[in-house]
Chains A and B, each alone.
Chain A
Amino acid sequence: MSAQAAELLTRTERPSRGLHASAVIGGAIVTGIVVLALVALFWTPYHATIPTDQVLAPMSWHHPFGTDEYGRDVLSRLMAGAKLILYAGAVSVVIAVVGGVPIGLAAAARGGLVDDLLMRVVDLVYAFPALLAAIVLAAAVGASTTTAMLAIGIASIPVFARVSRAGALQVLESEYVLAARAYRRSTAAIVWRHVLPNIRSLLIVQASLLFAIAILAEAGLSYLGLGTPPPAPTWGAMVQDAQQYLGRDPLLVFWPGIFIALAVLGFNLLGDGLRDLLDPRLRERR
């Protein structure tokens, strides 16, 4: 092979730099927020909910992001908020995975009437928006972190059910599954040994993308007062609180806003990048 041809080959086979950049930038942002949240577990510069004696202080060495209308340190609240939003996002994703994947796998493995019935139920859940579910739950039992996570998690079950069903159907048609069947492996064993490991990357990508959606949804719910109640420093509630000082101290609104957008961007980029890295077949389509 001539050097030229080799170069041509590597150039076409290597994913373009942009795709790598997604994963790297996304990974860096996500890591940054996770570190912030981990530090906040043990230490924040000030207490996140106890006021200092300076109200609406501008940015300074003592308060790098200033203080809010009650005199609470904004940096401390942002750090504690990172912890809250990652927790809410993670639980929502876990609810969606634990609820959705078994449904999708069962539908794919059983087929026929079971498949039809399960997917109808999934369609039904899919049609009901998360925000409405959160509103009904908040009206019924009062808004809390739990109601917000439940609403977001349950509303996302259909995504995982569909993705894992589609992935499983593909794997179940493969020849190694046929071989496993020839060895009289049970369906459950085939799903566990062959299907699940093969759709793992699909699920990881989806989880990252869902994390972004969950963060956006949680921020929206806590902004509307339908999530974790005050004085907890959720980013959404911080925006709501600061809104009345928009003219006087706009940064008070936009710091939490920037953090929300960064977190969503980070998980979106990470998900896109992972998809390109883990599933080369999809690379061409993007």
Chain B
Amino acid sequence: MNARYLARRLATLIATLVAASLAVFSLLSILPGSPAQVILGTQATPDAVKALTAQLGLNHPLWRQYVHWIHGLVTLDFGHSYISQLPIGHQIAQALGVTGPLIGFGLLVGIVIAVPFGVAAALFRRNVAGAAITSVSQIGIAVPNFIAGLLLILVFAVKLGWLPASGFTPWSQNGWLAFKSLVLPSIALGVVEGALLSRYVRSAVLDVLRSDYLRTARAKGLSRRQALVRHGFRNGAIPILTVLGLEIPSLIIGAVVIENVFTLPGVGTLLLQAVSNRDLLVVQDVVMLVAVTVLVVNFLVDASYRLLDPRLR
């Protein structure tokens, strides 16, 4: 049953990836104008454009170009940018050195905020503290992450001067400075996610508090604290883990925006620059990379949910 479920889910994952790649490829391939013309500029002779088109493989029928592109992606050969001529794989690897840690720290900030506040909101739901936490999280959800970022820049970079407002020092140059330039972006990214997560934590804890097994545990003589530690945490962890997994895709998307606020040279910046330069192969590659990551994370979360919860096996 479980293996069959996983196989079905895997098939769906692959179908989704194929559909997404087809959609991205066809949307970006039906454009008027040729990339060769873009590379060579308006002064180029028709012969030169033709020669370069052939060299790039763009004279082949669309299906062959698609197969060639997918083959490249699977073998991690992302090709070269039409505009800068740089190898795209190298650019992506460099950008991941920024975006990867940013998402990791952002997730950490989100958890550090969500878990204590969510648990407190559930435990104190009948008094002012609980209501206050719930209201603050309601407001936190409404604040766009780029506004949170700008507010942090205003306070900690412009007014106090503690941390850099923008830019990034590469890890290889100075690890401490690199970390410092990611502090504000990670908080901006994590705070908003944390506000949303805390609501899930709250309702998961409420479910546990109202459960029959907890009442039974209390009835057999355990104190409230003992019952919560022994039975509550494990049962509450399952839905929270799922939500956490679901938050990773939204952190990835949020990072695109946050990198723009702090002018960090990450994957999002690479993508947006490629869009404004019409550097289509880079757009195609990076969009697929992000889509693959999001879809694979979804898949893993779904699978681990099934493994953790015996009722679903």
Contact = CB atoms under 8 A, between A and B. Distances in A.
Interface of A: 18, 120, 123-124, 127-129, 131-132, 135-140, 212, 216, 219-220, 223-226, 236, 239, 243, 246-247, 250, 253-254, 257, 260-262, 264-265, 268-269, 285-286
Nearest to A223: B146
A135 B256 CA distance: 11
Contacts of A136: 23-24, 27-28, 283, 287
Task: Label chain A's interface by main secondary structure.
Answer: helix
Q: Which size bracket describes the interface of B in this complex? A: 35 or more
A257 B150 contact: yes
A121 to B, nearest CB: 9
Nearest to B298: A127
B28 A139 contact: yes
A135 B287 contact: yes
A266 to B, nearest CB: 8
Contact of A131 (B139, B151, B256, B261): B256
Contacts of B150: 239, 243, 246, 253-254, 257
Which one of A123, A139, A224, A246 has the greatest number of beta carbons of chain B within 10 Å? A139
Contacts of B23: 136
Contacts of B144: 216, 219-220, 223, 236, 257, 260-261, 264
Interface stretch (B12-20, B167-175, B221-229): B12-20
Contacts of B291: 128-129, 132
A139 B253 CA distance: 17
B142 A212 contact: yes
A234 to B, nearest CB: 13
A212 B256 CA distance: 20
Contacts of B283: 135-136, 139
Interface stretch (B49-57, B107-115, B268-276): B268-276
B286 to A, nearest CB: 9
B272 A224 contact: yes
Nearest to A285: B203
Interface of B: 12, 15-16, 19-20, 23-24, 27-28, 30-31, 131, 138-139, 141-147, 150-151, 153-154, 158, 203, 249, 253, 256-257, 260-261, 271-272, 274-276, 278, 280, 283, 287, 290-291, 294-295, 298
Contacts, number: 118
A127 B131 CA distance: 34
Contacts of B27: 136-137, 140
Given A132-B290, A135-B283, A254-B147, A124 B141 contact: no
Contacts of A212: 142
20 contacts: A123-B12, A129-B290, A129-B291, A136-B28, A136-B287, A138-B275, A139-B280, A140-B31, A219-B144, A223-B146, A224-B256, A224-B257, A224-B272, A239-B150, A254-B147, A257-B150, A264-B142, A265-B138, A265-B139, A265-B142
A242 to B, nearest CB: 9
B147 A132 contact: no
Nearest to A133: B23
A250 B150 CA distance: 9
B136 to A, nearest CB: 12
A219 B28 CA distance: 25
Contact of A124 (B16, B203, B275, B278): B16
A153 B144 CA distance: 19
B154 A250 contact: yes
A186 B243 CA distance: 41
B16 A127 contact: yes
Contacts of A253: 147, 150, 154
Nearest to A29: B142
Given A129-B253, A139-B275, A139-B280, A246 B154 contact: yes
